[in-house]
């Protein structure tokens, strides 16, 4: 584990680094029984939160529904929908130095919620509307002096699309994952990801576990904390 950079250690004499981590999926209800979601397990976000706590950060973890216990010593907030996550991120970001947006947010939600269970039919259509773009909604005044970390999941043109996303979302660091027949970012096992930072550096982490990915992400955050913008 790398030591905490000197500039962070100086600031932590008065208070620890405050990190806000989001993890897991969001779910969007269709009726009282059914919902839309995705395959996110929340494992990496929980690893980041737990390791940050071990590094003496003050940690807030906002999580969608997962089957993982929160790490000890963190402020834990449960959410379900993307709109709930949107509201909590903007609220908690006021008190954070770093935002790690590792949750898998549902891009769409049903336009209408059916108050009663939808009866079985041969066909049924659902009209979808766009959910809030949480990273894109963070205003310059909200992000001033903070480190913003986003995640990119692509099936094609991984690096080009992820570099563009980092720029578009004004993120300091983008974690790029590829989903294809050989790679999946979901669950445990060994993964290959790319770390793309605001300095234009691209670092490939090949065939490593999520605890090691979490360590590399926090190491890079700590470097960026004292690197001039």
Which sequence positions are flagged as catalytic?
38
Report d(CA 228, CA 196) in Å as an integer: 17
CB 62, CB 77: distance < 8 Å? yes
Q: If you ran DSSP here, which 8-state letter would residue 104 be given?
A: B
Token output for 157: 């043109």
Closest CA to 173 of 193, 201, 208, 192: 201
- Give the burial string for 81-90 (b: 16+ CB within 10 Å, else e): bbebbbebbe
């Amino acid at each position: 584990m790398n030591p905490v950079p000197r500039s962070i250690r100086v600031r932590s004499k008065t208070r620890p680094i405050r990190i806000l981590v989001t993890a897991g999926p969001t779910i969007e209800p269709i009726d009282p029984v059914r919902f839309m979601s995705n395959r996110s397990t929340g494992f990496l976000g929980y690893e980041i939160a737990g390791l940050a706590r071990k590094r003496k950060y003050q940690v807030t973890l906002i999580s969608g529904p997962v089957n993982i216990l929160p790490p000890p010593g963190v402020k834990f907030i449960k959410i379900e929908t993307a709109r709930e996550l949107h509201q909590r991120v903007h609220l908690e970001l006021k008190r954070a130095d770093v935002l790690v947006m590792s949750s898998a947010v549902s891009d769409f939600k049903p336009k209408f919620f059916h108050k009663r269970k939808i009866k079985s039919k041969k066909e049924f259509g659902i009209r979808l509307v766009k959910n809030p773009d949480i990273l894109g909604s963070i205003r310059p005044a909200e992000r001033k002096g903070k480190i913003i970390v986003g995640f990119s999941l692509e099936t094609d043109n991984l690096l080009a699309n992820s570099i563009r996303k980092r720029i578009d979302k004004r993120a300091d660091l983008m974690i790029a994952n590829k989903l294809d027949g050989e790679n999946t970012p979901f669950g445990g096992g060994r993964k290959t990801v790319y770390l793309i930072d605001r300095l234009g550096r691209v670092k490939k982490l090949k065939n490593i576990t999520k605890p090691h990915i979490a360590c590399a992400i926090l190491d890079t955050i700590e470097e960026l904390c004292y690197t001039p913008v």
